[in-house]
Amino acid sequence: MSIYFESEKNKVSRPINKTHRPGSLSTVFTDEQLDSLASVMHVKKYSAGTHLFWEGDDANAVYWILKGRVKIRKSTNEGKDLLLSILQPDDMIADIDAWDTSHRYTAETIDDVEVGVIPRLQLEMLMVKYGDFAYRFAMWMSLLQRKTETKLRDLLMGGKNGALASTLIRLCNSFGQKNDGTIRIDIKLTNNELAELVGTTREGVNRLLSAMKKDGIITSDSVGCITVVDLESLKDMAGCPLCPTCPKEICRL
């Protein structure tokens, strides 16, 4: 659970992750470094279903999510959408590149969202001024790269069945609530959104989910949330060579 801390120096709220969710900013940066980030940001609010930015917009800031959840989407030339990730409080969207000044994807809000907007120039000044902060930022970017690489590995090498199983495992690690040996994924996703995460069709996901339900691996409730009943079967289907030792900082959506 995240709470808000009011810095006496700059009067800007920032989240402190009391549960130390794997891979969140609070598990990579120190409190002092997070305060430095908060000192150069301004808070902006977005209503549900709106966009922080569109693919192709100028990338002149990073976004520290303080409240709500954000979908990261990529569009193909054929007009097909791929759902790359779903971010939550204490995650950061840092779509900045030394070789490209435009956003490579679109950020869309799921809920009412508050973000801390940190201008790119201010971020660069912090890294120049504080070597330890620059080192931690490099560590965090490396973590994101490893997570992306493992997701691509699962999508390309596991087949559609393995890719869906891997995605469900990552959803468990990102949004799961454990209860009597089962894990409820506490976010409602349509089958079309699951298909966008896996890179397949909605009809294909429908068939795969139906087979998993028939085999007693998953169930779904009346509001559309999936509960994983047999996590070990999903791991076998995913065929990940690192299971069950893969760090949860990496095995996330």
Per-residue pLDDT tens, the chain, 253 aa: give them.
Answer: 333 334 344 445 555 555 567 788 988 999 999 999 999 999 999 999 999 999 999 999 999 999 999 999 998 777 788 899 999 999 999 988 766 788 999 999 999 999 999 999 999 999 999 999 999 999 999 999 888 888 888 888 878 899 999 999 999 999 999 988 899 999 999 999 999 999 888 999 999 999 999 999 999 988 889 999 999 999 889 887 666 667 778 888 8
Do 110 and 219 belong to one domain?
A: no
Where is the domain boundary, 152, 178, 205? 152
Q: 53: which 2 tokens?
A: 């930015």
- Does residue 77 contact residue 31 with C-beta atoms inside 8 Å? no
Verify that 108 and 127 share a domain, yes or no. Answer: yes
105 and 196 belong to one structural domain: no
Q: What is the pTM of this model?
A: 0.85
Please indicate, yes or no, whether residues 77 and 125 belong to a single structural domain of this protein.
yes
176 and 78 both lie in a single domain: no
If asked whether residues 36 and 72 sit together in one domain, one would say yes
Query: Of 121, 152, 183, which closes a domain?
Result: 152
- In-domain check, residue 252: no
Q: Which of 103, 124, 152 is the last residue of a domain?
A: 152
Residue 25 lies in a domain: yes
Q: Are 17 and 99 found together in one domain?
A: yes
Q: How far apart are the first and last CA of the chain?
A: 18
Per-residue confidence (pLDDT) for residue 97, from 0 to 100: 75
pLDDT at residue 11, rounded to an integer: 46
Is the domain of 142 the same as that of 169? Answer: no
- d(CA 83, CA 79) in angstroms, rounded, equals 13
Give residue 212's domain range: 158-238
Q: What does the alpha-carbon distance between residue 204 and residue 108 come to, in Å, rounded to a whole number?
A: 25
d(CA 103, CA 97): 9
CB 32: neighbour CB atoms within 10 A?
10
Output the pLDDT for position 93.
95
